[in-house]
A and B are shown apart, each in its own frame.
Chain A
Amino acid sequence: MLVAISSLTILGAAFGLILGIAGRFLAVEADANVAEIEALMPGTNCGQCGFPGCSGAAAAIAAGEAALTCCAPGGKAVAVALAEKLGVSLDLSGVANEGPKVAGVAEDLCIGCCRCIKSCPTDAILGAPKQIHNVLKEACTGCAACVEHCPTEALLLHPVPVTLPHWVMPRPAAAF
């Protein structure tokens, strides 16, 4: 009886010591965490989340100050990736997954003021003063940074059109 108790006590103390030392020496720095979170973000620094760029948002997420669903252009995919990275369960029921979006210029409204060009984080808008602007669809992330800068509401987000090579079989409605 005494042998069992003492041996378990010694074992417990020894393992506790090892864990304590390991915790001290192998501690993960918080910065590395932030960097890893930032790598999952779109990296376009569009500012839609309200933080100063993707690094600011990553720091806020790591500190637990921001919701995982704060990234507008990243949408559901980024939220899921972040939840997986941080090992947190995520409630997506409130997030409407509207699918990928892309900006488009209404040519009858554009006055060629160039304000949107300066706001685009990926240089996806092409144009010159007093010329109708255009969006390069391949470079647009759908972050909506340009939308609020347009004085004539000519910039709007549209869902990315479904094409034949990109068509996905719809999910069967689960009966059970």
Chain B
Amino acid sequence: MGLMEKFFGLSWGIHPKDHKRPAADAVTRIMPAPERLYVSLAQHLGAPALPSVLVGQRVKKGDLLANPQGSVSAAIHAPTSGVVAAIGEIPAPHPSGLPVLAVTLAADGLDEWSEALEATPDPFALAPDEISRRVAAAGVVGMGGATFPSALKLASSRKAGVTTLIMNGGECEPYLSCDDRLMRDEADAIIDGIRLMLYATGASAAIVGIENNKPEAIAAMQAAAQAYSEVSVRSIPARYPMGSEKQLVQTLTGKEIPAGSLPAEVGVVVHNVGTAKAVRAAARYGQPLVSRLLTVNGGAVKHPGNIVVPIGALVEDVLAFAGGFSATPGRLVMGGPMMGMSLPHARVPVVKGSSGILALAGAELADREEGACIRCGSCVRACPMGLLPLEMARHIQGDDLKGAVKLGLKDCIACGCCAYVCQSHIPLVQYFAYAKGTLAAEDRAKLHADATKKLALARGERLAQEAREKAEVAARRKAEREAAKLAEAAAKTATAATVKTVETEGAPA
């Protein structure tokens, strides 16, 4: 592959129309906290957080609302000052619309910061582990959308001896421009955050990869990074999915991450540029992650642009703040159009991983009729992981999930390139999502069956033991009874013998 790429350029990926402007060029707006905020307790990868506040309790902005629970989890903080109105289930920002536990906050409109924030003038004087601890306390998660707790990633990178920090400024998803806007507006803060992350992970160099369709962001970041030799900013070709971890690492370092392993395997770790800003706020000012920059875009949005939104604001409030609709939206999407989630309705909250809210309309949604696979191989050329989507889908259609796994289903990153290029409009990536979900459910069922098997065995042993004990008691009773009988019989014969003797003695001679 290497030689082919040298002569013919990259073969994987697609070039969808990016729709990033004019939203990317609009000035960033800041949304004030709405009257009610719905802060989900499961907005990170891993176990949901455990609420640490009571209904009716008054909290200030940045106060802890929920503690992390388990080894992979993240803390949740109050996005504004107010009163905890409820702790209960709300619809999750998810295609299923299933409920998720959340803390409902009634804002008091003052937006007062908590006084308990741990600010420090020079975070580089702290121990690297202390930076990770502060990042964990601030509930920072990966801002690119995967929402893995950042503190765990910093600490594990240090243990694994990672040498290079890759900063993901790719933002290859069409429509989204929040990372672009952040790099233009706050390049200095991001570079400071990157230096803190270098310090926390022990890596020696950082490479910021930015797609070449964002010249303003590249210029701003290069200017900010000039003073620091350990941070380099590189322009990379615009191509979807360049922002995917494996593709970005390969493009920037030439190293290929082996199937089924983490980037640490080749000595690198990948973080989003937004995460760098959140790490800086946590380490320098003790500020938890309570708001984020996200893109509001799509054909139905009147004033598309980037908005700083408090976590927990409802999508409908954000859309109203953005200026409302110019047309009736046919579909609402959280995230990008390629990998984002279609929302059942607008009454779902913004979470830490929401990079965008799209209200799509008209031609953006053209429903295409599915045809038969003509085996043209477009999906094979487009697949960035070098898989055979057409073959995998055929196996899944025939209910042969194991066959699909053999073809590399586990390596699929669900980027959707295959479905995008498909001439026959086959929903290939949906097949893969279905198959992966079904396989995970089968694994869970197997674990459950193993656990219940153990319970059944334990019950069998218990019943056997009870039966044994009963038999022992019965045997003992029987023995006692027989002993008593024997004794009685012996006593009887003894008495009889005495009587006989007496009789004999008493008899006339």
Cβ contacts A to B, 23 pairs, < 8 Å: A43-B456, A44-B452, A44-B453, A44-B456, A100-B445, A121-B459, A122-B455, A123-B458, A123-B459, A139-B452, A162-B96, A164-B42, A164-B92, A164-B94, A164-B100, A166-B444, A167-B98, A171-B396, A171-B431, A172-B430, A172-B431, A175-B369, A176-B371
Give chain A residues whose Cβ lies under 8 Å from the Cβ of B99: 164
A169, B452: Cβ atoms under 8 Å? no
For B460, give its contact among A45, A164, A171 (CB under 8 Å).
A45
Taken together as a complex, chains A and B put the C-alpha atoms of A121 and B448 apart, in Å, by: 14
Instruction: Judge whether A163 is part of the interface by a CB distance below 8 angstroms.
Output: yes
Q: For B446, give the chain A residue with the smallest CB separation.
A: A77
- Cβ distance A88 to chain B, nearest Cβ, rounded Å: 16
In the A-B complex, list the 3 residue pairs whose CB atoms are closest, starting with the nearest. A168-B437, A43-B453, A175-B370
Q: For B445, give the chain A residue with the smallest CB separation.
A: A77
- Cβ distance B49 to chain A, nearest Cβ, rounded Å: 14
Give chain A residues whose Cβ lies under 8 Å from the Cβ of B457: 43
Instruction: Judge whether B55 is part of the interface by a CB distance below 8 angstroms.
Output: no
Give chain B residues whose Cβ lies under 8 Å from the Cβ of A140: 452
Q: Looking at chain A's contact residues, is the secondary structure mostly helix, strand, loop, or mixed?
A: loop
Give chain A residues whose Cβ lies under 8 Å from the Cβ of B100: 164
Give chain A residues whose Cβ lies under 8 Å from the Cβ of B42: 164-165
Instruction: Judge whether B326 is part of the interface by a CB distance below 8 angstroms.
Output: no
Instruction: Judge whether B146 is part of the interface by a CB distance below 8 angstroms.
Output: no
Q: A122-B459, A164-B96, A167-B96 are in contact. Are A174 and B434 (CB under 8 A)?
A: no
> Interface readout for A153-168 with B: 1 if CB under 8 Å, 0 if not?
0000000001111111
For A176, give its contact among B370, B438, B460 (CB under 8 Å).
B370
For A121, give its contact among B431, B437, B440, B456 (CB under 8 Å).
B456
Q: Which residues of A contact B (CB under 8 A)?
A: 42-45, 77, 100, 121-124, 138-141, 162-172, 174-176
Give chain B residues whose Cβ lies under 8 Å from the Cβ of A77: 442, 445
A169, B433: Cβ atoms under 8 Å? yes
Known contacts A44-B455, A139-B451, A169-B437; 19 further A-B pairs (Cβ under 8 A): A43-B452, A43-B456, A44-B453, A45-B456, A77-B442, A121-B459, A124-B452, A124-B455, A138-B448, A141-B452, A162-B98, A164-B94, A164-B96, A168-B437, A169-B430, A175-B369, A175-B370, A175-B371, A175-B372
Give chain A residues whose Cβ lies under 8 Å from the Cβ of B459: 121-123
Taken together as a complex, chains A and B put the C-alpha atoms of A170 and B396 apart, in Å, by: 13
Q: A45-B456, A122-B452, A123-B455 are in contact. Are A172 and B434 (CB under 8 A)?
A: yes
- Cβ distance B185 to chain A, nearest Cβ, rounded Å: 34
Q: For B419, give the chain A residue with the smallest CB separation.
A: A172
Taken together as a complex, chains A and B put the C-alpha atoms of A164 and B456 apart, in Å, by: 29
Give chain A residues whose Cβ lies under 8 Å from the Cβ of B427: 172
Instruction: Judge whether B27 is part of the interface by a CB distance below 8 angstroms.
Output: no
A139, B455: Cβ atoms under 8 Å? yes
Give chain A residues whose Cβ lies under 8 Å from the Cβ of B434: 168-172
Taken together as a complex, chains A and B put the C-alpha atoms of A162 and B373 apart, in Å, by: 33
A42, B98: Cβ atoms under 8 Å? no
Give chain A residues whose Cβ lies under 8 Å from the Cβ of B445: 77, 100
B94, A167: Cβ atoms under 8 Å? yes
- Cβ distance B274 to chain A, nearest Cβ, rounded Å: 24
Taken together as a complex, chains A and B put the C-alpha atoms of A174 and B398 apart, in Å, by: 10
- Cβ distance A103 to chain B, nearest Cβ, rounded Å: 13
Taken together as a complex, chains A and B put the C-alpha atoms of A171 and B445 apart, in Å, by: 19
- B369-394 with Cβ < 8 A to chain A: 369-373
Give chain A residues whose Cβ lies under 8 Å from the Cβ of B442: 77
Q: A43-B457, A139-B455, A169-B437 are in contact. Are A164 and B449 (CB under 8 A)?
A: no
- Cβ distance A85 to chain B, nearest Cβ, rounded Å: 13
A42, B449: Cβ atoms under 8 Å? yes
Taken together as a complex, chains A and B put the C-alpha atoms of A131 and B408 apart, in Å, by: 53
Instruction: Judge whether B487 is part of the interface by a CB distance below 8 angstroms.
Output: no
Instruction: Judge whether B250 is part of the interface by a CB distance below 8 angstroms.
Output: no
A164, B98: Cβ atoms under 8 Å? yes
- Cβ distance A2 to chain B, nearest Cβ, rounded Å: 49
- Cβ distance A58 to chain B, nearest Cβ, rounded Å: 14
- Cβ distance A168 to chain B, nearest Cβ, rounded Å: 3
Taken together as a complex, chains A and B put the C-alpha atoms of A124 and B458 apart, in Å, by: 12
Instruction: Judge whether B156 is part of the interface by a CB distance below 8 angstroms.
Output: no
Give chain A residues whose Cβ lies under 8 Å from the Cβ of B98: 162-164, 167
Give chain A residues whose Cβ lies under 8 Å from the Cβ of B397: 174
Taken together as a complex, chains A and B put the C-alpha atoms of A174 and B373 apart, in Å, by: 11
Instruction: Judge whether B441 is part of the interface by a CB distance below 8 angstroms.
Output: yes
Taken together as a complex, chains A and B put the C-alpha atoms of A172 and B434 apart, in Å, by: 8
Q: For B431, give the chain A residue with the smallest CB separation.
A: A172
Give chain A residues whose Cβ lies under 8 Å from the Cβ of B455: 44, 122-124, 139
Q: For A174, give the chain B residue with the smallest CB separation.
A: B397
Q: For B433, give the chain A residue with the smallest CB separation.
A: A169
Taken together as a complex, chains A and B put the C-alpha atoms of A77 and B369 apart, in Å, by: 33
- Cβ distance A170 to chain B, nearest Cβ, rounded Å: 7
A167, B460: Cβ atoms under 8 Å? no
Taken together as a complex, chains A and B put the C-alpha atoms of A45 and B371 apart, in Å, by: 48
Give chain B residues whose Cβ lies under 8 Å from the Cβ of A42: 449, 452-453
B92, A166: Cβ atoms under 8 Å? no
- Cβ distance A44 to chain B, nearest Cβ, rounded Å: 4
- Cβ distance B508 to chain A, nearest Cβ, rounded Å: 72
